[in-house]
Copies of this chain bind each other. A is one copy, B any other.
Amino acid sequence: MKGTKVIRLREEVQLNNPVFLVGLPGVGHVGKLVAEHLIEELDAEKTLEIYSHHFPPQVLVDENSEIHTVNNEMYICSIEKCDILVLVGDHQSSTGEGHYELCDLYLDIAEEFGTQRIYTLGGFPTGQLTYSDEVLGAVNNQELIDELKETGVVFKENEPGGGIVGASGLILGLSKFRNIDAACLMGLTSGYLVDPKSAQSLLKVICGIFDIEIDEGPLEERAKEMEKIVARLKEVEQQQQGISDANIKDDDLRYIG
């Protein structure tokens, strides 16, 4: 397979006031967990599959020992307010060029469906194992900020300081050229672990935005499992604390080029 291939499972799809929601794998898999949860709970229908040589040369094996080539997929969740076009997937692009090409492809498809609003979901790595239920936002148009603040999204000057790397950020950037309003919503997370608890916080915001109620049960369960792991990691961390020794404060490091 040279290049990228889109397989459409349904013809002539008509969406009602479509919103594009992106939940690809990334920091803490926060975005992916939320998007997959929505697909599950809202009985979404798969509408297309994307295969690309920009993904790793890999297949995944399901519970019946049947494989599928790693891909990205779009689902349609119909709720009262609108239709949500949800992008999920096994991987993001392996290369920088691939990111630009694929994000543009996602937007081509979203535009074709008539999308006028985009939310990309992700995690914001704090580097610390302490839990926070904050959801940080960034936008490609300041006019979105007030509306999002009302649903609990927090905005901070120049945050994330290192920008947003990967599809969650680039989709915001590229949709600006198309005059489509887009926001990136990031659950705070350690950055070390899959984080269903952060996904719960992000899900709450999403429910607010779309005016829906979603059962958090399965995320709740996974979150509890993870809490046990985190507790043990914290123990290890405390034991190691004595070893590390810093002559230069963290604060200084931001000057280092």
Contact = CB atoms under 8 A, between A and B. Distances in A.
A88 interface: no
Q: How large is the interface on A (under 10, 10 to 19, 20 to 34, 35 or more residues)?
A: 35 or more
Nearest to A68: B173
A166 B56 CA distance: 9
A236 B247 contact: yes
Contacts of A63: 157-158
A67 B141 CA distance: 8
B66 A140 contact: yes
A158 B145 CA distance: 43
B96 A65 contact: no
A52 to B, nearest CB: 8
Contact of A165 (B56, B155, B172): B56
Interface in A178-229: 184, 192-195, 225-226, 229
Interface stretch (A16-24, A75-83, A248-256): A248-256
